[in-house]
Each structure stands twice: as structure tokens, then as C-alpha cells.
Structure 1
Amino acid sequence: MTEQKTQVRFIDIDDDIAGQRIDNFLRNQLKNVPKSMIYRVLRKGEVRVNKKRIKPEYKLQAGDVVRVPPIRLPERDEKAAPSTKLDKVAALEHCIIYEDDHLLVLNKPSGTAVHGGSGLQFGAIEAMRALRPKARFLELVHRIDRDTSGILLIAKKRSALRHLQAQFREKTVRKDYYALVMGKWPTKQRKVTAPLLKNEVNSIVRVNSKGKPSETRFKVLESFAEATLVQASPVTGRTHQIRVHAQYMGHPLAWDDRYGDPRFDAYTKSFGLDRLFLHAATICFRHPNKDESMTLNAPMEPKLERALEGLRAKTA
């Protein structure tokens, strides 16, 4: 098997990269290099910062000079059939709903994870890095579940990442989701504050008095014969929060494989639905550079719209 060897590089660290861990920085710089190899060159001292050895947890500072060593990689077989995943990566280019020098906003499709791992070769962030190979910095600002579609913020500068994440911590970001729930959601039930506890073994979340304080605000958008379209606005950002709060109220989401009801899935299947009906539709925040208020909207995919049309026809 033939090999190819990268060239040694010296990279100057500026304010936008400052604060990032060296291992994460290298993973971004060496996109096709296995993670195990990156940690190997770090342990062997082949990566130097200001001519000194450093540990993987070292946080870069403005003015640092990083030596990225040459790395040998097996040469790819050019005759091999292209991966079908390349088509999925390319398709995400059409899912970008906003982009400038500081920020990229994606209308993430259902079924696409936000990042790779756990048997997944790529996620939304890896796809964006592949589509923007010249971008020096691309990092997730927040996360949404793999089966949830809709708005995902990606920072293109470290300063933007810090600014946006601070807004999330201070709960000044407003996110509105569309969710299709089973049965008739009571119009007077506008807030659920049940505490949530996550099982670290299987990641199942349950309402539990020992859990973390959690709040979701609900608003009925449209009522159908056996379902309700609600707007769910999480105040806190717990794992599976909307899904568990809806289940706790006795109105699980359509096609929720963890907290749903198979009877509701079977009912909505007749309207062409075969995915979790949870869509991050709107987000309001302050632009990390202009400090102006921004509101972005992400349209639902046609499958969800068609399911709603079928429900309307059934209700009429």
C-alpha cells in the first residue's frame, strides 16, 4: 500500500483560535487523520507550541506558534466507488439558511447527527468542515437531537462561539419548535416545569424530583381530530426536554422512538409520516459581531407539511 506524507507546518494562533484545546485544534487542522494518530504525535512530542512539548489539554493562547508535524497516511484508492455519504454531505450545502463571516446557520435534516461518533462517520459539523475546507474555525454553538430537524448554529470564529454560548447560558436565546403530539393538548397548559433526570447508562430521561430544574412553554397552534400541533419553547436546555415533558403530560410526540406511543405512530403513518415530528423552526438571538437582534426561520420539510395537510383533511 502506498503512502502520502503531509508537510510540516507552523501556524500562528490569533485571538479567534485562542482558548481552544490543542487536541481539538489538531483534529480541525488534520481532518483526514484518525484521532488515535493525533494523540500519538502529541504523546511523542512531535507537536510543539513555541518549540515546547505540550499535553493534549493545553489551551492555545494568542501569539502561540504551533508546529504541526508531517504525518504519513495511506493513500486512498482512487478507483474505489465514491461513498454515498458524499452525496449527503453535498446536499447539506442547500440546507444553509444564513451565512456570514462569523456565523453559519443550518436547517439540519432529520436523521443527520450534529457530529460524528458512535459508529457515525460524519455529522453536520464534519460535513460543514468538508464543504468549507478553507475555514480556519467551525464549531457547534449548541446541539439538537439526531432525529430532530431544524435550526443549528455553527460559529465561524471563536469570538462568535463565546458570544453565542454566553447568550445560551444567560437564557436570552429564544428557540421555538413545532411538535405534533398525540391527542388534544389543553389550551390552558402553557408551561411544564417537571424536573428531568438523565440515566447516564442508556441516556433515557425521566421526570424525577431529583432531576435538574426544567421548563418548557407550550402553545397550541392547530388542533386535529386525534392530534395537536404545538409550539414548544424550551427555557432550559435539558436532553430530550420537549419530548419528555410532552410525554409527562400524556401527549407524546409522533414517531418518538424513546418516549412515544406506537398507536399514535400507526395513526400518523397513514398521512405519510415516518420520522419524529419535532422541528426547530425559529431562533432569536443577538448577532455575535453586530450585536443586533436576529430572528431566523427554518421551513419544515415537505413530508411534515403533507402530514399536516392530511390531518386537516381528516378533521374537516
Structure 2
Amino acid sequence: MSQKPDNTVVQDDERPKVRFITIDSEDAGQRIDNFLLRTLKGVPKSHLYRLMRKGEIRVNKKRIKPVYKLAVDDVLRIAPIRVSEKKDTVSTGLNIVANLEKQILFEDERLIVINKPSGMAVHGGSGLSFGLIEALRALRPDARMLELVHRLDRDTSGCLVVAKKRSALRHLHEQLRNKTVQKFYHALVKGHWPTKLTRVTEGLRKNDLKSGERVVIVDNINGKESETRFRVLERYRGATLVRAFPVTGRTHQIRVHCQVTGHSIAMDSKYGHEDFDADMKGKGLKRLFLHAASIEFTHPLSEERLKIEAPLEPSLEKLLTKLVRE
């Protein structure tokens, strides 16, 4: 084993070489430090900055600063360095990770649409060692990038889109801003949802409790403008299955809009109704009955309009068979 001048330890027989990377349209426009963090996995940011200062990472044979924005056909020269990659903390042998493969609804070279399981966060953090995006990266170790296009609450299941290229991520984010992405949810709510109640437009505001928990409250003065459209799918004794279309995309929007109308979603730990939840729990429901049933968007490469549907998990289907239809 030998010690290199930059204090990076390498194996004698590995002989790291100079790397040259030519930037294409996918990577153009981003800062070089962000690009390098993704490309040189396991290298700390501080170490990358030091390498750039020393001129061991250059663009078109010139020294650059970390804020430099890459352009098409830029040639990066990366000196012979090696930092051991951190071992992925997510094992592909874990059942929850292995089962994700079966939940992929659509995949091509640009994106993945997956039927996210309830109870799984979209990313690690807040005490979680990993989330769906980390699990997907473990399943697709050769993917240059995998980034969430949008989010779903931890307890919500259903369609979630992940971009495999930066151009796809930009394209889909633009569609979200322009409100040309349509997301439909299925929710089982308390009581008899009125047929005429097709729109809820209460303003919503995030509120942090003393406990540190974040909840969303109705606030039509200081809250953000919000709109959800509803349609009745099926009526049951004491409950209604509704389809919800969020026109805006506020945190917990559908859950709070259901609560404020007096029709809380079944098994909602934050905004639920105690008696209704107890009844549904007695019938075997163990999770929030909110499911992203479908998503419709324009494919970032083919420009085709795609509609992807995610089936309800068996536990939700089973619950519906136990309810008495009206």
C-alpha cells in the first residue's frame, strides 16, 4: 500500500488513472461541484474543493472554481485519485427492497414509475436509514442518476415518478409547474360524501407544534391557495370511496381537505376521526387509505401522453369487500 501526495490511500496494484469526461447536453448547465459529487461517489465535498484549488480537476485544461457551470463539449480532466466509496447501507437482499422490483409499473431509459408501498418514506432522514430512492439506487447501481420528480407522504401508496436523466427531471418539473401533470388519488373517507361537493378550496398553512411535529391547518387568510376536486366512486354504509384530483400540490392537501369537510380519510393518524378509524381498524385496516391511483404526463423524450395506473394493494381491496354497499 502506498501513500499519495494528496493523502489518498490507494492499493499498489490498482494504479488509478487520469480520467477524462466530455460533457453532453444531459449534464450541461449544472455546477461542477454538484456534477462531481454525483460522479465521484464517496468523495467528500471538502476534498473535491481541495482538488479543484490544487488544479487536479480542470476543465478544458484550465483551473476552475466550484461554481463553474458546465457547458456542452467541456472536457474534464480528473487527476489519478481514489477515495473508497462508502458501502451502500441498503442491502438488495432486504425483502422490502427486493419487493420494489415487483412494484415497478413503467421503466425506460428516461424514467421509472413505481407503485410506492405505504409506510415507506420517499427518502431517508428523520431517523430513517433509507427510503425508496435509496432502495432504488441499490437496485439500479449502474444508473448515473435517480432523482424524485415529486413526493408522496410516507403512509400514502401509489404512483411515484423517478427521473433517470437530468433532462427528464427538468421536463417533468416544468410540466408540474404548468399543471399539465394529472394525479388522481383514491381515498376511503368517513360518512356520506355529498355528490354536489366536487371542489374544496380552503387555504392551507404549515404549523409546527411544540413537540416538533408538523401539521397543516386551514387558514384562508395567511395560508396558501389550494384546490382539490372530488368525485364519488362508491358508497358504503358509513363510508365513501372518492377520487381526489389535487389541482395544487400542498403538503397533506387531500388529507386536510377531507378533514375540513367532515369526511376524514380512514386511519389518518394526523387528521383522522377516532371512531371511524376504530371501526375501520376492527375490519382489518392497518394503514392510511389514500392511494395515488394514476398519473398522467407527457413523456420527456417521445412527447407521448402517458397514463400509468397503480392497483390497490390487496389489504385495501380486502377491506372494501367487507364494507356494505349502499
TM-score (norm 2): 0.84
Deviation at 1:148, TM superposition (A): 0.6
Structure 1 range deviating more: 200-209 or 61-70: 61-70
1:194 corresponds to 2:202: yes
Q: Which residue of structure 2 aligns with residue 299 of structure 1? A: 311
Seen in structure 2, the aligned counterparts of structure 1 residues 104 and 128 have a Cα distance that, compared at 3 Å, is same
Give the share of equivalent positions with the same residue, in percent: 55
Q: Which moved more, 1:92-101 or 1:42-51?
A: 42-51
Change (3 A) 1:130 1:61: farther
Larger CA deviation: 209-218 vs 263-272: 263-272
Aligned amino acid, residue 111 of structure 1 = G
The CA deviation at 1:177 is 0.2
Q: 1:235 aligns with which of 241, 247, 262?
A: 247
Distance 1:210 1:87, change over 3 A: same
**Structure 2 portions without partners, runs of 5+:** 1-8
1:41 corresponds in structure 2 to 47
Which range moves more in the overlay, 274-283 or 196-205?
Answer: 196-205
Shift of 1:12: 2.8
In the alignment, is the contact (CA less than 8 A) between 2:92 and 2:135 conserved in 1? Answer: no
Decide whether the 8 Å contact of 1:178 with 1:232 is kept in 2: yes
The within-5 A match list for 1:58-69 is 59-66=69-76
C-alpha displacement of 1:88: 1.9
The corresponding residue for 2:39 is: 29
Name the counterpart of 1:167.
Answer: 175
In 1, Cα distance between the equivalents of 2:153 and 2:317? 20
After alignment, is 10-19 or 180-189 more displaced?
Answer: 10-19
State the shift of 1:75 in Å: 8.5
- What are the superposed Cα offsets for residues 250-279 of structure 1, whole Å, 9 maximum, x if unpaired? 111111111112222211012211111110
Contact 1:151 1:280 in 2 (8 A): yes
> What SS is found at the alignment partner of 2:135?
helix
Could you tell me which of 271, 280, 285 is aligned with 1:259?
Answer: 271
1:203 to 2:214 alignment: yes
Structure 1 residues 163 and 268: CA distance shift in structure 2, 3 A: same
Contact 2:92 2:138 in 1 (8 A): no
The 1:84–1:159 alpha-carbon spacing in structure 2 relative to 1, beyond 3 Å, is closer
Question: What is the match of residue 262 of structure 2?
Answer: 250
Classify 1:58/1:281 alpha carbon distance in 2 versus 1 (closer, same or farther; 3 Å). farther
Contact 1:141 1:165 in 2 (8 A): yes
- Length-normalised TM-score, structure 1: 0.86
Whole-angstrom distance in 2 between the partners of 1:75 and 1:45: 19
Q: Is the 8 A contact 2:190 2:276 kept in 1?
A: yes
- What is the alpha-carbon distance in structure 1 between the residues aligned to residue 152 and residue 271 of structure 2? 16
Output the CA distance in 1 between the equivalents of 2:215 and 2:261.
17
**CA distance 1:257–1:49, shift in 2 (3 Å):** farther
Number of aligned residue pairs: 303
8 Å Cα contact 2:37-2:45 kept in structure 1: no
Q: What is aligned with 1:14? A: 24
Does residue 124 in structure 1 map to residue 136 in structure 2? no
What's the counterpart of residue 269 of structure 1?
Answer: 281
For the 8 Å contact 2:147–2:169, the answer to whether it is kept is yes
Quote how far apart the aligned CAs of 1:84 are.
8.7
SS in 2 for 1:199: strand
More deviation, 22-31/206-215: 22-31
Q: Secondary structure at the match of 2:214?
A: coil
After superposition, the C-alpha distances for 1:114-148 in whole angstroms (9 at most, x for unaligned) are: 11222222222222222112222221111111111
Q: How large is the RMSD of aligned CA atoms in angstroms?
A: 2.7
